[in-house]
Structure 1
């Protein structure tokens, strides 16, 4: 029998403590992945991986979206915002003083980041603009597309101006081919289709995938106009906020150990 007053571990701790689920969380923390990719990375049978993914989805930590490249496939996405709240709740459940102390940025050369989508008219320029807006000149940021459109989508320009105060007047989509030979630290695809045709870049950049539906395609299908772009920009901005600590790690101060005589 449990001692009087003993409480069960918080749900996140119980869920994440399983080795397979922790591996899945760790891999998805790096970017969106398909089941077969998770099976390879985790090294477990697909039925077992699918079972643990269902548990993570039931807890609201992981979601799935149909691939725009292959509608029979799905990309799994980890909700880092929900994980952050769950971790904070778990720490507070143990002791209210358990908070991550603020850290000091590690000084390093400005990272270079490339965002990609098919048309380079909505998702990738929104990501480019938002990261540049958040970090200023501390990162080299650009975007491109495999089949660039003639201009930035008007709703993309509108949402950046209204919600974030960013003016992209005069900005024009560019082709991925124009960037061949450039070196990037991070190459981030926001489109399932462009992920399949991404060229090789020098320097072995870190590849990350964000599976985000094309707001222009949704709007063209008559399922919404500006609000679709507003939601897309909000999702990209959330991912940008979680990307910043990856681009700019912090040194977390460790309290000194007690010296015993």
Structure 2
């Protein structure tokens, strides 16, 4: 019989600290800036920044410059990295805790009241329609989803259309960008901004608990003809959408029990 390990896995060491766990919990819901984390957790900025650095060094949190204000950065919890770290942690504890790599199928019975989701960016030509299409694809119409922009472009970016068609089998060629003013008066369970600029001016389409932010860089920033960037953006958004599904499932369950 082998001797027990004297050192906890890296994920346990990082996540076990109360403040780092609070940071991870907050960032699991929405991308946030340091000052927002300071206000949310009631801790000094230098302490928040120190623990964010440790989480970044551990590969659990990433940071990206705000496209609205370059002096700001949005922090994001990499849930895929957390999944891999948790898997390794479980396997280190006991072989029985290794995952079986199966994903539960969605429930056969669609609830009467489905959650509603609005994705928002500036031009509604790439990021938000990609998110709309990915969520619709993954839920097969189980979720009512729409996208809009603050300054919609005349048409969808052809690279966004191509990235979805060639890599995910989704065709949105017939879709047209829409202005969020066309949704005035509507309420959504979740409003998710994918653009730092749009986040600052987005109207109140949802209660505060339903407003989330995904800080996704504009794929056109690397040049309008850089198709690989659109492919990476579509994949990154799909990862976010995949992690959103359990949240929407919980919303469904809450609707049913009320």
TM-score higher than 0.5: yes
Shift of the 51–203 alpha-carbon distance from structure 1 to 2, 3 Å rule, reads: closer
RMSD in angstroms over aligned alpha carbons?
A: 2.1
Q: How far does residue 166 in structure 1 lie from its aligned partner after superposition?
A: 1.0
What is residue 8 of structure 1 aligned with on the other side? 7
84-93 vs 171-180, which moves further: 84-93
What is residue 18 of structure 1 aligned with on the other side? 17
Q: Distance in 1 between matches of 2:207 and 2:63?
A: 32
Q: Distance in 2 between matches of 1:159 and 1:213?
A: 16
Shift of the 77–202 alpha-carbon distance from structure 1 to 2, 3 Å rule, reads: closer
Residue 186 in 1 paired to residue 190 in 2? yes
What 5-or-longer segments of structure 2 have no aligned partner? Answer: 252-258
What is residue 72 of structure 1 aligned with on the other side? 71
Contact 2:189 2:206 in 1 (8 A): no
Higher helix share: 2
Q: How far does residue 245 in structure 1 lie from its aligned partner after superposition?
A: 1.1
Contact 1:181 1:202 in 2 (8 A): no
Q: Distance in 2 between matches of 1:202 and 1:21?
A: 29
Q: 1:150-196 CA distances to partner (integer Å, 9 max, x unpaired)?
A: 00001001111111111112210000111111121110000000000
191, 199, 202: which is aligned to 2:203? Answer: 199
Q: How far does residue 93 in structure 1 lie from its aligned partner after superposition?
A: 1.3
Shift of the 17–11 alpha-carbon distance from structure 1 to 2, 3 Å rule, reads: same
Residue 152 in 1 paired to residue 153 in 2? no
What is residue 239 of structure 2 aligned with on the other side? 238
Shift of the 245–5 alpha-carbon distance from structure 1 to 2, 3 Å rule, reads: closer
Contact 1:184 1:205 in 2 (8 A): no
Q: Distance in 2 between matches of 1:57 and 1:31?
A: 16
Q: 1:117-137 CA distances to partner (integer Å, 9 max, x unpaired)?
A: 000000000000111011111
Contact 1:187 1:205 in 2 (8 A): no
Contact 1:183 1:205 in 2 (8 A): no
121-130 vs 203-212, which moves further: 203-212
What is residue 258 of structure 1 aligned with on the other side? none
* Helix, strand or coil at the partner of 1:161: helix
Rg (Cα) greater in structure:
1
Shift of the 54–205 alpha-carbon distance from structure 1 to 2, 3 Å rule, reads: closer
How many corresponding residue pairs?
245
Q: How far does residue 219 in structure 1 lie from its aligned partner after superposition?
A: 1.5
Shift of the 45–151 alpha-carbon distance from structure 1 to 2, 3 Å rule, reads: same
Contact 1:39 1:46 in 2 (8 A): yes
What is residue 166 of structure 1 aligned with on the other side? 170
Contact 2:187 2:205 in 1 (8 A): yes
What is residue 88 of structure 2 aligned with on the other side? 89
* Helix, strand or coil at the partner of 1:142: strand
Q: 1:61-102 CA distances to partner (integer Å, 9 max, x unpaired)?
A: 111100000000000011000101111111121112236797
Shift of the 184–99 alpha-carbon distance from structure 1 to 2, 3 Å rule, reads: farther
4+ aligned runs moved over 3 Å, structure 1: 3-6, 99-108, 202-205
* Helix, strand or coil at the partner of 1:121: coil
What 5-or-longer segments of structure 1 have no aligned partner? Answer: 251-261
